[in-house]
């Protein structure tokens, strides 16, 4: 092993059921090309979950034969909401429902457990960083991008000059809660959608699984009488079937996805005027569909993103790649970026 490859960073993507780990070496190469998963045990509280993260690190080191002494630091990402430095929201978080998690410093706890520096990002920010770096490689520092990640909620990330914009309280890139114009998006008689955060008409109230369940599906079922989804007793279960129906061209599902594409397009229009990024990335469940459906959806998003002519010439629209590995890899890239700078240079600032 030459000296340039003498150290590594480990990326750990912490989720509701599993931790996914990866290793990035000093030359910028990932040492695993697949998911390396271990149970995350987050429902058993912080102490057990921190041990599980340490276990995920040991497991990926064993698997690759990398010596523990070679690890310079760890990149960690978790679902939010959390502070920029990895303190879980004091109001609680969907993934961290036990009371001990409220206000828990997950980054600090893992750092103390491992005796290694830990760099924290929320999961959407980590995925955004990965998408950006895969697209731009060693030119990452010269470009900007925005990523919208559609899942249960609508997460996202903004990358400028190769770095995630975190904001003062860690809440930059909370794209889901940006309010968007509803005029021309809603159909006749359709109620203004409401978000879990309390806002009306924000991007997540339309472009998320929660938005389908709470807002879009209840309305569209009134427009398609005797639709098969009206016979699914539970609205949550029905909402999860919309994606599959959309892939098969079901008109109700297509109407829902068109509204979601318009919502994301309007969100990207705000982004165009606010940060004017090089690339607009789309990720999440909607991307984990048939190639034909996701290209149709991405095309719709692009159609509803209102760019100036100068922007149209330089902007690109793309899908977040390797979505299941994007969190761990993005977390590792973030740690790599912070830990490769000589310590003296960082502390002298």
Binding site for Zn ion (CB under 5 A): 177, 195, 197, 199, 202, 204
CB of 144 to Zn ion, least distance (A): 24
CB of 186 to Zn ion, least distance (A): 17
The verdict on whether omega for the bond into residue 81 sits within 30 degrees of 0, i.e. cis, is yes
Select 216 or 245, whichever has its Cβ closest to Zn ion.
Answer: 216
Question: Which of left, alpha, beta for 118 (phi over 0: left; psi -120 to 50: alpha)?
Answer: beta
Contact, 202 vs 180, CB < 8 A?
yes
Select 177 or 304, whichever has its Cβ closest to Zn ion.
Answer: 177
Edge-to-edge strand ranges of the sheet holding 8-14: 37-39, 18-25, 8-14, 71-78, 118-122
Contact, 181 vs 173, CB < 8 A?
no
Select 175 or 229, whichever has its Cβ closest to Zn ion.
Answer: 175
**Nearest-CB residue for Zn ion:** 195
CB of 146 to Zn ion, least distance (A): 17
CB of 287 to Zn ion, least distance (A): 21
Select 30 or 199, whichever has its Cβ closest to Zn ion.
Answer: 199
Q: Where are the beta strands (DSSP E) in the chain?
A: 8-14, 18-25, 37-39, 71-78, 118-122, 145-150, 154-160, 163-164, 279-284, 316-319
Select 41 or 177, whichever has its Cβ closest to Zn ion.
Answer: 177
CB of 212 to Zn ion, least distance (A): 15
Select 171 or 255, whichever has its Cβ closest to Zn ion.
Answer: 171
CB of 195 to Zn ion, least distance (A): 3
Instruction: Pick the closest to residue 238 from 228, 248, 246 (CA basis).
Output: 228
289, two tokens = 């569909």
Contact, 187 vs 221, CB < 8 A?
no
């Amino acid at each position: 092993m030459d000296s340039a490859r003498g150290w590594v960073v480990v990326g750990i993507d912490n989720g509701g059921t599993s931790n996914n780990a990866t290793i990035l070496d000093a030359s910028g190469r990932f040492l695993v090309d697949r998911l390396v998963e271990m149970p995350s045990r987050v429902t058993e509280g912080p102490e057990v979950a921190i041990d599980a993260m340490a276990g995920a690190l040991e497991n990926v080191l064993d698997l690759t034969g990398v010596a523990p002494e070679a690890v310079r630091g760890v990149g960690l990402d978790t679902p939010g909401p959390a502070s920029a430095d990895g303190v879980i929201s004091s109001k609680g978080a969907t993934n961290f429902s036990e009371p001990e998690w409220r206000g828990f410093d997950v980054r600090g706890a893992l750092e103390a457990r491992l005796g290694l520096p830990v760099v924290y990002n929320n999961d959407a920010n980590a995925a955004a960083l990965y998408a950006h770096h895969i697209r731009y490689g060693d030119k990452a520092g010269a470009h900007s991008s925005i990523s919208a990640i559609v899942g249960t909620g609508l997460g996202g990330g903004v990358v400028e000059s190769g770095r995630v914009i975190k904001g003062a309280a860690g809440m930059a890139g909370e794209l889901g809660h940006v309010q968007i114009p509803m005029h021309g998006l809603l159909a006749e008689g359709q109620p203004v959608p409401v978000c879990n955060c309390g806002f009306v008409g924000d991007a997540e109230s339309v472009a998320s699984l929660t938005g389908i369940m709470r807002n879009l599906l209840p309305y569209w079922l009134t427009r398609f009488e005797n639709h098969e989804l009206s016979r699914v007793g539970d609205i949550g279960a029905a909402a999860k079937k919309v994606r599959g129906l959309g892939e098969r061209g079901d008109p109700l599902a297509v109407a829902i996805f068109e509204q979601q594409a318009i919502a994301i397009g309007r969100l990207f229009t705000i982004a165009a005027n606010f940060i004017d990024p090089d690339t607009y990335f789309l990720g999440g469940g909607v991307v984990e569909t048939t190639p034909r459906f996701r290209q149709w959806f991405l095309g719709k998003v692009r159609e509803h993103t209102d760019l100036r002519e100068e922007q149209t010439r330089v902007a690109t629209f793309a899908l977040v790649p390797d979505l299941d590995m994007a969190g761990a890899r993005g977390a590792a890239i973030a740690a790599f970026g912070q830990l490769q700078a000589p310590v003296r240079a960082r502390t002298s600032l």
